């Protein structure tokens, strides 16, 4: 019924055309970043603009890598993201299980208390958290970067909701077989909620990977810089040499975008089903 008339076919073609043109605009900054990083210095600032890097040169990449240790930034970002996501999922799994399965005094209070932290963003607490970190001597350390991100109310909530939907028989049977509670969580519940764990893990990973405000506050030394902090300090307000800058942002984003292309279906599905976060 729908879309059988010629008018409807034209309408659909117009919609596709519109979405395609808009899509080109959306990717244009990425395209411009990568092609600019390969342009010769003359072509980089040529008018009219050069749409294709011919000849393509790697000099900006050499300059970028000579100026900043991007491998180190990657290592730091990976360490921070891995520990933050791992700890958030592990603690979220146990707490999510406790809230879904047990009944205990003050359960509702603790649950609301944990979720209420979502209402107070790091932008509000950063000043007092920094003072606390100063007291702990955690400024300019990995512990300081990680401290506010070792647990996630969002991850805990997602995991708890999906455990709630599970049949209790499974847990009863395991208990009769003599399995302890910790073993039940790790070997029975964990594998059963692995798709939710994957979704939460991906979202938390992206969030940690792109996090900027807290890392830029707590990190002073180059050796601890994560990718966003490294890129922000790579930019020199008095130097308008855009070649190395575009090479630096390409180094910082292209691997992530490539990885995104492989898992984008899951990320988009996960975000659509869970809403929230970032």
Q: Which of residues 47-86 bind another protein (CB under 8 A)?
A: 47-49
Given CA atoms 60, 63, 68, 70 in this order, what sign does their dihedral have?
A: positive
Give the Å distances, CA to CA, from 258 to 42, 251, 262. Answer: 29, 12, 7
**Does the footprint of another protein cover residue 10 (CB under 8 A)?**
no
**Does the footprint of another protein cover residue 120 (CB under 8 A)?**
yes
Q: Is 230 exposed, middle or buried (0-12, 13-18, 19+ CB in 10 A)?
A: buried
Count residues contacting another protein (CB under 8 A)? 99
Alpha-carbon torsion angle 174, 166, 160, 102, nearest 10: -50
Residues from 247 through 266 that contact another protein (CB under 8 A): 248-249, 252-253, 256-257, 260-261, 264-265
Kindly indicate which of the ranges 16-24, 54-62, 63-71, 188-196 contains the residues binding another protein, using the contact rule CB under 8 A. Answer: 16-24
Angle between helices 227-234 and 70-101 (to 10 degrees): 140
Pattern 97-116, another protein, x by CB under 8 A:
xxx--xxxx-x--x--xx--
Residues from 140 through 179 that contact another protein (CB under 8 A): 147-148, 150-151, 153, 156
Question: For another protein, which residue of 9, 10, 19, 82 counts as binding (CB under 8 A)?
Answer: 19
Question: For another protein, which residue of 9, 15, 54, 173 counts as binding (CB under 8 A)?
Answer: 15
Q: How far is the CB of 270 from another protein (least distance, A)?
A: 10
How far from each other are the two terminal CA atoms of the chain, in whole angstroms? 41
**Does the footprint of another protein cover residue 212 (CB under 8 A)?**
yes
Question: For another protein, which residue of 10, 187, 213, 255 counts as binding (CB under 8 A)?
Answer: 213
In angstroms, the CA 151 to CA 108 distance is 19
CA nearest neighbour of 74 among 221, 256, 257, 262: 256
**Does the footprint of another protein cover residue 39 (CB under 8 A)?**
no
Residue number with CB closer to another protein (38 or 248): 248
H or E element, residue 127: helix 122-136
**Does the footprint of another protein cover residue 16 (CB under 8 A)?**
yes
């Amino acid at each position: 019924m729908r879309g059988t008339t010629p008018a409807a076919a034209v309408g659909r073609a117009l919609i596709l055309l519109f979405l395609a043109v808009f899509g080109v605009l959306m990717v244009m900054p990425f395209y411009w970043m990568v092609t600019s990083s390969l342009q010769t210095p003359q072509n980089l600032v040529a008018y009219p603009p050069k749409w294709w890097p011919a000849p393509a040169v790697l000099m900006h990449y050499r300059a970028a890598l000579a100026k900043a240790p991007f491998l180190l930034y990657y290592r730091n970002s990976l360490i921070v993201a891995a520990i933050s996501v791992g700890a958030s999922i592990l603690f979220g799994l146990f707490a999510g299980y406790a809230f879904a399965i047990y009944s205990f005094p003050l359960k509702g209070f603790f649950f609301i208390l944990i979720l209420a932290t979502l209402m107070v963003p790091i932008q509000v607490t950063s000043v007092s958290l920094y003072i606390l970190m100063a007291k702990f001597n955690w400024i300019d350390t990995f512990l300081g970067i990680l401290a506010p991100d070792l647990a996630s109310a969002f991850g805990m909530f997602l995991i708890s909701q999906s455990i709630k939907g599970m049949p209790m028989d499974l847990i009863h049977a395991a208990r009769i077989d003599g399995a302890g509670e910790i073993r039940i969580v790790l070997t029975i519940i964990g594998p059963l909620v692995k798709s939710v764990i994957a979704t939460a893990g991906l979202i938390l990973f992206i969030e940690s990977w792109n996090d900027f405000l807290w890392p830029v506050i707590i990190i002073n030394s180059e050796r601890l810089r994560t990718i966003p902090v490294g890129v922000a300090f790579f930019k020199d307000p008095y130097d308008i040499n855009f070649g190395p800058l575009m090479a630096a942002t390409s180094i910082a984003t292209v691997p992530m975008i490539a990885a995104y292309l492989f898992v984008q279906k899951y990320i988009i599905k996960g975000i659509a089903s869970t809403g929230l976060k970032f």
